[in-house]
Structure 1
């Protein structure tokens, strides 16, 4: 898989760090600034009083910025915690899929009398699903770029079985797509699927069906959670 290197820090986190650094610098320098102002305006206590009041107003503004920085830090921490929970859930799903690949009798989608050919097709479907789940997670964490995702999806859809698989698997990836990056992932994969289908002249689902909005789900983390899509 193509990678784009380490992910960049979120803009909100960088802004919070910059704001905190500026506030610390202002607090540390404030005694020196007041001392300089006292020497310049010695004897003019009314003017010094005005300066003190102005400094109090500035302190209130700086306190507001500090509060904003704390809120942004908490928001970033919550987002990172959510990503960690999703990664843990997907890791568990990967383990369950691997168990099914090792022992197909654990799968609820295969009949007891499934032929060797049916089991082989089912295993290929599971492998494709695991591949797209990996691409999805890597795209969300910015481990791969949109161009790298297009390249990987285009290579996968050169296989006619993969082109036939995506319309069946797509609802599991669109269910709960409330985040912009979730919708964008499906959009990029759809584009590559259409391009590969048009290039090969193979059958595909109608364009209107591929563009149907996903029904509102009960949870937002269930996209791509189905283990048996074949």
Structure 2
């Protein structure tokens, strides 16, 4: 729309600029000036049209700039939230700063935080039309066939309320709820919860002793 407005304004301005030269060629000095006056009035109307279009172009530009500003603010907020989630995943100590537990006692909270990040990526892909409905449903069907994602959405999703598809974001949430309820109706998930395996670490004292005994 902004490009179309700019093209219309440019075409109108060019035609208005060339109008006097066209009139001078069509109507020489001995022509009836009353007729030329009528044409001049039409030329004034064209000037008014140019002013209106120019004002409309300015308004469209302001609307586009405001949307870009709002999108930038939303992106900054999402980036800040993403940093907090990443820090809570890397340092479990900070997970208690989010309030009550996100996950049940028998599950690690970082698994729920990771599910939240997965859902955010899909929502962004859906918002920019990089994710079709068939792809979204396929991903969600596999997503909810695991215990952790299903428990995550059961606790933190809005599946118990009816979401009105007033915009693209709401339509994605409606699809998520449909796939979650379909998975719940199909029965238990095929993948149970798998606790994290402890990472084996070498103790520094043993390494130091080994290195000392190998020295000549």
Q: Same fold (TM over 0.5)?
A: yes
1:79-133 deviations in whole A, cap 9, x for unaligned? 111111111111111111111111212112577xx97x532xx221111011111
2: CA distance, partners of 1:34 / 1:171 = 65
* Shift, 1:179, TM fit: 6.3
> What residue in structure 2 maps to residue 57 of structure 1?
45
Checking the alignment, whether the CA contact within 8 Å between 2:16 and 2:47 is kept in structure 1 is: no
The answer to whether 1:149 aligns with 2:136 is yes
1:130-149 deviations in whole A, cap 9, x for unaligned? 11112222322334334433
Describe the shift of the 1:52–1:171 C-alpha distance in structure 2 as closer, same or farther (beyond 3 A): same
2: CA distance, partners of 1:72 / 1:145 = 30
2: CA distance, partners of 1:79 / 1:145 = 24
* Shift, 1:165, TM fit: 2.0
Listed as ranges, the matches of 1:96-111 within 5 Å are: 96-108=84-96, 109=99
Q: Secondary structure at the match of 2:10?
A: helix
Describe the shift of the 1:80–1:51 C-alpha distance in structure 2 as closer, same or farther (beyond 3 A): same
Bigger relative contact order, structure 1 or 2 (CA pairs below 8 A, ≥6 apart):
1
2: CA distance, partners of 1:77 / 1:36 = 38
Checking the alignment, whether the CA contact within 8 Å between 2:85 and 2:113 is kept in structure 1 is: yes
The list of structure 1 runs, each at least 4 consecutive aligned residues, that deviate by more than 6 angstroms after superposition, is none
* Shift, 1:78, TM fit: 1.1
Higher-Rg member (1/2) = 2
Checking the alignment, whether the CA contact within 8 Å between 1:16 and 1:70 is kept in structure 2 is: no
The answer to whether 1:76 aligns with 2:73 is no
Describe the shift of the 1:130–1:69 C-alpha distance in structure 2 as closer, same or farther (beyond 3 A): same
Checking the alignment, whether the CA contact within 8 Å between 2:165 and 2:171 is kept in structure 1 is: no
Query: How high is the TM-score relative to the length of structure 2?
Result: 0.71
From 32, 38, 46, give the equivalent of 2:24.
Answer: 38
> What residue in structure 2 maps to residue 88 of structure 1?
76
Can you give the 5+ residue segments of structure 2 that lack an aligned partner in the other structure? 190-216
Checking the alignment, whether the CA contact within 8 Å between 2:125 and 2:131 is kept in structure 1 is: yes
- Give aligned pairs, total: 180
2: CA distance, partners of 1:144 / 1:91 = 21
> What residue in structure 2 maps to residue 227 of structure 1?
none
Q: Secondary structure at the match of 1:142?
A: coil
Can you give the 5+ residue segments of structure 1 that lack an aligned partner in the other structure? 1-14, 204-230
2: CA distance, partners of 1:84 / 1:29 = 39
Q: Secondary structure at the match of 1:107?
A: helix
The answer to whether 1:118 aligns with 2:100 is no
Describe the shift of the 1:146–1:46 C-alpha distance in structure 2 as closer, same or farther (beyond 3 A): farther
- C-alpha RMSD of matched pairs (Å): 2.8
